[in-house]
Structure 1
Amino acid sequence: MPDTTSAATVRPALPALSTQAERLIELGVHEIAGLTPAGVRTFAAAAGVRAGGDALLAVHPDRAPASALAPLLRRAGKPGFVVVDMTDVDRFGPHGVELPDAPLYLVTGLDRGDHLSGWSPEEALPALTGEGRTPLLLTEGLHWVLQQPEVLERNHCFMTIGSRLRKENGGLDARTPAIWISNGTGRDGRERRDAPKIGWCWWGNRHTWLGFASAADRRATGGR
């Protein structure tokens, strides 16, 4: 297993929750989730008072699935996309992660997990939980990039291993979702070079350019 001595990745603070709310409304995420602009703004206003710090505004994946969020990402003027062999992306649900029972919630203490680059998901998960952290869901990672596009950098992208696919036999699919930047090769197509890309990696494989995004906590705060 690779060594790691680094602490949390240094990053700029997230926008204020009120600003994040307006971003989601501008993109039409509230419509995808069946929420009103007023409802999103009210939640953000109440949560901003109570959260008291750096937090990500997230929509429950049952309300806004990954396939609907991915095209809203932008990088180099190009929309995000899901790889063609991941038509089942929305079946990757929370695994070992307890979500607030609310359409909107907060994710706090985000870290891209650069210090775990070169680890496999199988190695990284116990390391994260041993630190008292929780791996991000794919949808949470997408919300993060929607609000802070610069978090996605070449050679510094991330996996979201809080989302797993349960197979019909009860076992877990060996694929684990990740968000990175397309090189425009293969089935991506040259026109997608530099676009944000939602794909997958094997549970036991290591990638030097993928960290493991995690959070300190999730909580529902404020009204609906």
Structure 2
Amino acid sequence: MPVPALPSVADQAEKLIEIGATGPLTPELLRKEAAGLPTRPGLLVVAGLAPSAIAPLMRRAGRPGFVVGDMDDVDAFAPVTDVPDAPVWLLEAPERGDELQNASPAEAEERFAARGRVPMLLTEGVQWVLQVPEVLERNHCFMTTGSRLRKPTGRFDARTPAVWISNGTGRDGTERRDAPKVGWCWWNNRHTWLGFGSGERRST
């Protein structure tokens, strides 16, 4: 199924205001910053929103989103791709990357580079689901390789963040079945049901 289109940037701003996902920006400032973005279609992204704070604002099947229990350091996953030095930006033409299902994150990164696309940040992925919950479908979810955790040694943690749908098994708990979920997969692993989020560019 095609990914649903995003609302207008102005409507996206109102959505974030409605659910309390404006970060340090007042509603008035968010509206002003959003109005100054390019008029091209894309995802309105508010800088500085912690995944741990906005993941519970996701909704699917009447259930709130959550971060898996073994990712209590989720907010330490930082951008490894260029992001604007701005309070908001537009991630143009976001894609879920269904055609990359069963690729490893490393292979997906190569494909992004060849196509000139930018890997999606975890916070961008969560904000996308905030705006269009239908972007998450069974067997069609996505990883966000634009965010990685760097260890004190300088090497990257092998966990790679992703946004998908809970099956309500294990530590998730049956009450979370069908809820949107922030979790992780190993950098070199492949999953037939996970694509890779990306955008055409980030604009301000």
Report whether the alignment pairs 1:23 with 2:15: yes
2:35 maps to which residue? 45
> 1:13–1:54: 8 Å Cα contact kept in structure 2?
no
Matches within 5 A, 1:77-92: 77-92=62-77
Displacement of 1:104 in angstroms is 1.0
Specify which of 115, 124, 137 is matched with residue 153 of structure 1: 137
> 2:8 is aligned with what amino acid?
A
Deviations 1:161-209 (Å, cap 9, x if unpaired)?
0000000000000010000000000000000000000000000000000
1:196 maps to which residue? 180
3-state SS in 2 of match to 1:29: coil
> 1:159–1:177: 8 Å Cα contact kept in structure 2?
yes
Matches within 5 A, 1:44-83: 44-47=34-37, 51-60=38-47, 63-83=48-68
Displacement of 1:46 in angstroms is 2.5
1:3 maps to which residue? none
TM-score (norm 1): 0.89
Unaligned stretches of 5+ residues in structure 2: none
Distance between the aligned counterparts of 2:156 and 2:34, measured in 1?
35
Deviations 1:67-116 (Å, cap 9, x if unpaired)?
01100000011000000000000110001x11110111111011100000
1:207 maps to which residue? 191
Displacement of 1:53 in angstroms is 2.4
Does 80-89 or 123-132 show the bigger shift? 123-132
3-state SS in 1 of match to 2:36: helix
Q: CA RMSD in A?
A: 1.1
3-state SS in 2 of match to 1:129: helix
> 1:187 is aligned with what amino acid?
R
3-state SS in 1 of match to 2:55: helix
Q: Number of paired residues?
A: 204
Unaligned stretches of 5+ residues in structure 1: 1-8
Displacement of 1:129 in angstroms is 1.1
Displacement of 1:10 in angstroms is 4.2
When Rg is computed on C-alpha atoms for both structures, the one with the higher figure is 1
> 1:79–1:195: 8 Å Cα contact kept in structure 2?
yes
Distance between the aligned counterparts of 2:155 and 2:104, measured in 1?
19
> 2:9–2:43: 8 Å Cα contact kept in structure 1?
yes
Q: Which runs of 4+ in 1 moved over 6 A?
A: none
3-state SS in 1 of match to 2:85: coil
Deviations 1:17-60 (Å, cap 9, x if unpaired)?
11000000001112xx111110111122222xxx2321111011
